[in-house]
Amino acid sequence: MDIVIQFFKKKNVQRFIIFCMISIAIIFIAKPLIGEIADGLKDVTIMNETELYTKYDGEGNNEKTLKMISKGSKVKILETRGDWLKIKDEEGIEGWISKASLDKKAEEKTTVNNPTYQVVTIEQEQGIVYTQASVQSMRMGEVARYAHLLLLHDFGDGWAQVQYNGQVGWVETKDNAINKIATTIDSPEAVIYDKPNTSANVIVTPGPGVALQVLEEYPKFIKVKYQQYTGYIEGNKVTDAIGVLRDLLRDQTHAEQVPTNKKILVTKLNETPIVAEPNGEGQVLTTISAGTQLDYEDRDGDYYKITLTSGQVGYIPYWLVITNFAPIESDATIPTSLAEATIVLDPGHGGVDPGAVVDFSPVHEADLTLPTAQAVKAALEQKGAQVILTREDDSSVGLVERAEISNKNNADIFLSLHYDSTVVDTVSGTTVYYYSANDQSLAETVARYLKAKLPLPNNGAYFENYAVTRENNQPALLIELGYLNNHSDNAVVNSKDYQELVADAIVAALEEYFQ
């Protein structure tokens, strides 16, 4: 033991031990930094097309857009500041990008819960619409260049099913484009630039109300195509092409069948094909007219099995029919009964926003929507449903906040209840609005029950752009329950009896939908 003590007392040994301890400490401290530097200097791949900015001020503000960096590009990270990265691209250009551009999860995000209608834009000199997915099939008609056809389904094999003059048709996709569309607002500044910057060159000024193909969306700019021009337009200079889409959807039939306790399908368009096999390659057995009611028998993938009046078994794809039950896209997560459902009810307006106001009655819209929602809530809870109100008193709740209540609670259905008003006092009745393509069947089902159970006429179900439905990831409707400026409607809706009839109609509709 004395020998060991004497050994460690030697100065050279002590110095060596101190050196080793310091070295170990440096390694532990420096290793994460070295790793971070190594990671930072290695090439990374851009997962989402992004803007490259010249300057980042540390507070999320960027001075100027240098260029767009394409998805799949390799870049080198030089510096990190919060959610922003200084990088050098393949051309040696340095600038700042958002970390989100490296996020594969962002690339994989989908709007399947709230899909936006898309169109096929004809980019050939003249587009040809066929009766089947073959150039040897009969021609239904010809379409002018840059015309928009409502997309029914893209089969991914060079052919897309489209709506043409109220019929089901086919177009080739190789020389045409499939996109969302937006329309320009009435502003002299609604111009298309060659780069995503207002100091860039102006390519073209489309004019007000012009439909543009939406290619990519960024925080401040949208990459668009207008006729032969491709460029960038400020996001606040365009709006959703609701008018264009609404006009296209008017060619589809409404489900006119009476309420029923069995599952049914109703065709939307004329020349709807019934195929022999549940796939896109099945032989066409026959075509049927819009508004044809069919009994649901079974499903196979994206197709419903049916039996024709001739006794022949066939299949029809979900996107060509309206159903009185949850569509294929969402039925994996839909409850099997109303008792299992979570319903969010949104009494429209409230607080500082009275909604519709008329001069012949002290009762405003917000005074009616809350008691109506409370009546619907009580009726739904009697059936075992869990019900959440977006407001429980005369308080102000933001439109997006209402949608977020639905999203956060994973609502099976969101219903925003309103009473309408217009400059013409002869308009009457109830109307149901939806935004998501998936919610059309739900809207039609609710509209049928309002028509069957309420003393007011029902005007049908329509596509419309309302924030509470647009920002909602859950099945969502906005329901107008009568016109307050119509003296007759006003006298009917301003009663507890009417609110209870509304509750009965909604409960019955949801019971059928969840069958």
Contact 254, 450 (CB under 8 A): no
Q: Which amino acid is at 83?
A: D
Q: Which pLDDT value is given to residue 17?
A: 59
Work out the average pLDDT over 147-162. 92
- Residue 195 CA to residue 65 CA, distance in Å, equals 8
Q: What is the CA radius of gyration of the chain?
A: 30
Q: Which pLDDT value is given to residue 32?
A: 44
pLDDT greater than 60 at residue 59: no
Q: How far is CA 435 from the centre of its chain?
A: 8
pLDDT greater than 60 at residue 167: yes
Q: At what angle do helices 11-41 and 2-9 cross, to 10 degrees?
A: 60
Q: Which amino acid is at 178?
A: I
- Residue 174 CA to residue 186 CA, distance in Å, equals 33
Q: Which of 39-43, 59-63, 87-91 has the highest mean pLDDT?
A: 87-91
* Burial class (CB within 10 angstroms; exposed 0-12, middle 13-18, buried 19+) of 10: exposed
Q: Which amino acid is at 50?
A: T
pLDDT tens-place string over residues 116-153: 688 999 998 889 999 999 999 999 999 999 999 999 99
pLDDT greater than 50 at residue 8: no
- Residue 471 CA to residue 478 CA, distance in Å, equals 12
pLDDT greater than 60 at residue 13: no
> Who contacts 118 (Cβ-Cβ below 8 Å, separation ≥6)?
151, 178, 179, 180, 181
Strand partners, 232: 193, 223
What is the pLDDT confidence band of residue 515, given thresholds at 50, 70 and 90? confident
Q: What angle do CA 148, 435, 132 make, to 5 degrees?
A: 40
Q: Which pLDDT value is given to residue 334?
A: 74
* Residue 210: other Cβ atoms inside 10 A: 17
Strand, helix or coil for residue 361: coil
Please give the residue that has the higher pLDDT: either 2 or 159. 159
DSSP 502: H
Work out the average pLDDT over 243-254. 83
pLDDT greater than 90 at residue 276: yes
Work out the average pLDDT over 406-428. 93
Q: Which pLDDT value is given to residue 110?
A: 25
Q: Which pLDDT value is given to residue 109?
A: 28
Contact 95, 64 (CB under 8 A): no
50-64, 100-114, 409-423: the lowest-pLDDT one: 100-114
pLDDT tens-place string over residues 436-458: 888 999 999 999 999 999 999 99
Helix H or strand E segment including 179: strand 177-184
Please give the residue that has the higher pLDDT: either 430 or 310. 430
* Burial class (CB within 10 angstroms; exposed 0-12, middle 13-18, buried 19+) of 175: exposed
3-state helix, strand, coil in the chain (%, to 5): 25, 35, 40
pLDDT greater than 60 at residue 10: no
Residue listed under structure tokens 């668009």: 224
Q: Which pLDDT value is given to residue 16?
A: 57
Strand, helix or coil for residue 225: strand
Q: Which pLDDT value is given to residue 381?
A: 97
Q: Which pLDDT value is given to residue 288?
A: 92
- Residue 482 CA to residue 490 CA, distance in Å, equals 7
Q: Which amino acid is at 446?
A: V
pLDDT greater than 70 at residue 101: no
Q: What is the largest CA-CA distance in the chain?
A: 111
Contact 437, 117 (CB under 8 A): yes
pLDDT tens-place string over residues 318-371: 999 988 888 765 555 678 889 999 999 999 999 989 999 999 999 999 999 999
pLDDT greater than 90 at residue 429: yes
Q: Which amino acid is at 165?
A: N
Instruction: Report the mean per-residue pLDDT for the chain.
Output: 84
Determine the number of helices (DSSP H) and then strands (DSSP E) in the chain: 10, 33
pLDDT greater than 90 at residue 252: no
Work out the average pLDDT over 395-418. 95
Work out the average pLDDT over 258-274. 86
SS3 of 44-89: EECCCCEEEECCECCCCCECCEEEEECCCCEEEEEEEECCEEEEEC
Q: Which pLDDT value is given to residue 34?
A: 42
The runs of H, that is alpha helices, within 363-464 are 365-382, 399-408, 440-453
Q: Which pLDDT value is given to residue 12?
A: 58
Q: Which pLDDT value is given to residue 119?
A: 92
The b/e string for 64-73 (b: 16+ C-beta within 10 A; e otherwise) is ebbebbeeeb
pLDDT tens-place string over residues 454-502: 999 999 999 988 999 999 999 999 999 999 999 999 999 999 999 999 9
